[in-house]
Every structure is written in structure tokens, then in C-alpha cells.
Chains A and B, each alone.
Chain A
Amino acid sequence: DARVTQTPRHKVTEMGQEVTMRCQPILGHNTVFWYRQTMMQGLELLAYFRNRAPLDDSGMPKDRFSAEMPDATLATLKIQPSEPRDSAVYFCARAPGPPNTEAFFGQGTRLTVV
């Protein structure tokens, strides 16, 4: 099953609060991507992992964002503290197996920071 589930689907939070977004299941030997989508910038790659190790997180503001895989089936993206400019839709995707395989996206988490 290629489906990826993201939770929560919607999140409204106050500036300064911590936000955690989840993505699962992530199965072994997957590449996991985190993207942020806004009207102005389109889809921006924040970070991507393979076998739970970060390959590139240069797209992520590291002073407030962190991406991890707490266990083999779960990927998380945390923002602490959140700011209004973080308001966007955040997508995770997984690409199973070798690099030439198809990527499957979750439905996204719509984050609003007020």
C-alpha cells in the first residue's frame, strides 16, 4: 500500500507554540521528503532522509525546524517556536526502494499560525 498518512490535517496555533506534524507509515529503505507549499513559493523542499538519516536539510530553518524519524515507521517535522510566516501546507512523501522509484505524497497538514 503506497498511501502515506499525515496528521493532523489542519492545525491552528498561536505564535510561539510548538507544532509537531506526523507522517506514516514509513517503511524500511524509503526516502522521506518534507515539503512546504505556499501560493508565492510553490513546493519548497525542506529536508529529506534515507534509512532514517538526513540526506539534506539545507532547505529548513534549523533554528526553529527539526525533522526526525523517532522510529522506523514515523517521520516528524517540528517547529518551535512557530511564527505567522510558517503558515503553509506541509507535505511529506516517501519513495520506496531504489532512487528511481515513484514518490507518494500524503494529503498534507495545513498550518495556520496566528
Chain B
Amino acid sequence: KQEVTQIPAALSVPEGENLVLNCSFTDSAIYNLQWFRQDPGKGLTSLLLIQSSQREQTSGRLNASLDKSSGRSTLYIAASQPGDSATYLCAVKGGSEKLVFGKGTKLTVNP
């Protein structure tokens, strides 16, 4: 059974700081890994999708890496802004096509 863990559960940083969010998963037989953002009371917005054959994906100030063999992914946010404050979730899609989520990291960027 796939299990996804995100550390830390919460993170508070001053504006402008670079930061890393971590995601680990127990079963490396995956199709892809997806990072989402969720604002309070809102739905999930897809940020980045990394296929199992890829090592990283970039979108603007966001960079996600994937090390499938060790079951780890990181989301790097450069030059953080107050508007980045949200909960960040990672999800792994395995061979059964099941999309399994971690519990998220709640990020607060202080002005």
C-alpha cells in the first residue's frame, strides 16, 4: 500500500527566503508525482507534474525534483512571497492509477 509523507507539516518563513518542501513515498513503482497548492476553502490547483522518467520540472519560481529510487521529491520555492502562503500537497500515481496524497505542508510567508 502506497503511503505518502510530507515534512514539515507547517513552515513559516520571512518573505524573500528560498525554501524546500519534502515529500516521500513508500512504493517507487509510480507513473508520476504531482504537486498541488490549496488555498483555504478552495480546491486543488496543479503546480507541477513529474513523470517517473523525469528528474525535475520547473515553472517560474517553482522547481520540483524526483528521485524515484529513493522515494523522494522536493518542491523548491525561490524568493518566497506572501502570496505563496497556502497548503502544498504532493500526490503519487501508482500502477493501479490510484492517486495517493500526503497530508500537506502549510506554508506561511510573512511580509
A: residues with CB less than 8 A from B are: 31, 33, 35, 42-43, 45, 48, 50, 55-56, 91, 93, 95, 99-100, 102-108, 110
Contact = CB atoms under 8 A, between A and B. Distances in A.
A99 B99 CA distance: 10
A93 B99 contact: yes
B43 A56 contact: no
B80 interface: no
A99 B45 CA distance: 19
Contacts of A42: 101-104
Nearest to A105: B44
A87 to B, nearest CB: 15
B31 A103 contact: no
Nearest to B45: A105
Contacts of A31: 97
